Amino acid sequence: MRKHCPVPWVEIIPEQIHVVGHRYSVSTPIELKSGRNDDLFGQADHEDLAIKIRAARQHADEAADTFSHEIIHSIDSCLRLHLSEEKIGRLASGLWSTMLESPGLLEFFIAVRDGRAI
Ligand SMILES: [Zn+2]
């Protein structure tokens, strides 16, 4: 169980993910701060391979959208794509909406991964 759990999704968000062969840790601090933006929803650190999703004031669907955004940032970094922030935002929204609106898609991917689709 996680230390702080202000919202239910914190309990089920994965503690790590693999992005193009890189293992990123995932944490859910209550707040995120940076020098240039005091209202961050998520943050990806590509040197420490860490993704942070702010737990406070984010509903599950917002947290999932934020998580998708940080994953796209991580893919961008790992593959050195140098995408703009706007393109990252659009790709993240596209990824998240495709997952949401496509029942069975994740199950299909998991079945392929597990060798059950051969
Ligand atoms: Zn961003």
Residue 63 falls inside a structural domain: yes
Domain tally, the chain: 1
Ligand 1 mean position, distance from CA 69 (Å): 6
Residue 55 falls inside a structural domain: yes
Ligand 1 mean position, distance from CA 94 (Å): 14
E strands in 1-118? 16-19, 22-27, 42-45, 50-53
Question: Cα separation of 64 and 51, whole Å?
Answer: 13
Q: CA 110, 10, 83: angle at the middle one, nearest 5?
A: 65
Residue 4 falls inside a structural domain: no
| Cβ atoms 95, 72 nearer than 8 A | yes
- Give me the domain span that covers residue 25: 9-113
Long-range contacts of 73-78 (CB under 8 A, 24+ apart): 73/44, 73/46, 74/19, 74/20, 74/22, 74/24, 74/44, 74/46, 75/19, 75/20, 77/44, 77/46, 78/19, 78/20, 78/21, 78/22, 78/46
Ligand 1 mean position, distance from CA 88 (Å): 7
Ligand 1 mean position, distance from CA 118 (Å): 37
Ligand 1 mean position, distance from CA 115 (Å): 34
Residue 68 falls inside a structural domain: yes
pLDDT, position 1? 46
Among 20-29, 68-77, 95-104, the range scoring the smallest mean pLDDT is 95-104
Average pLDDT, the chain: 90
Ligand 1 mean position, distance from CA 49 (Å): 15
Residue 83 falls inside a structural domain: yes
pLDDT tens per residue, range 3-45: 555 688 999 999 999 999 999 999 999 888 776 656 789 999 9
Residue 105 falls inside a structural domain: yes
Residue bearing the bigger pLDDT, 67 or 34: 67
Residue 99 falls inside a structural domain: yes
Ligand 1 mean position, distance from CA 68 (Å): 10
Residue 118 falls inside a structural domain: no
- How many percent of the chain have pLDDT more than 90? 73
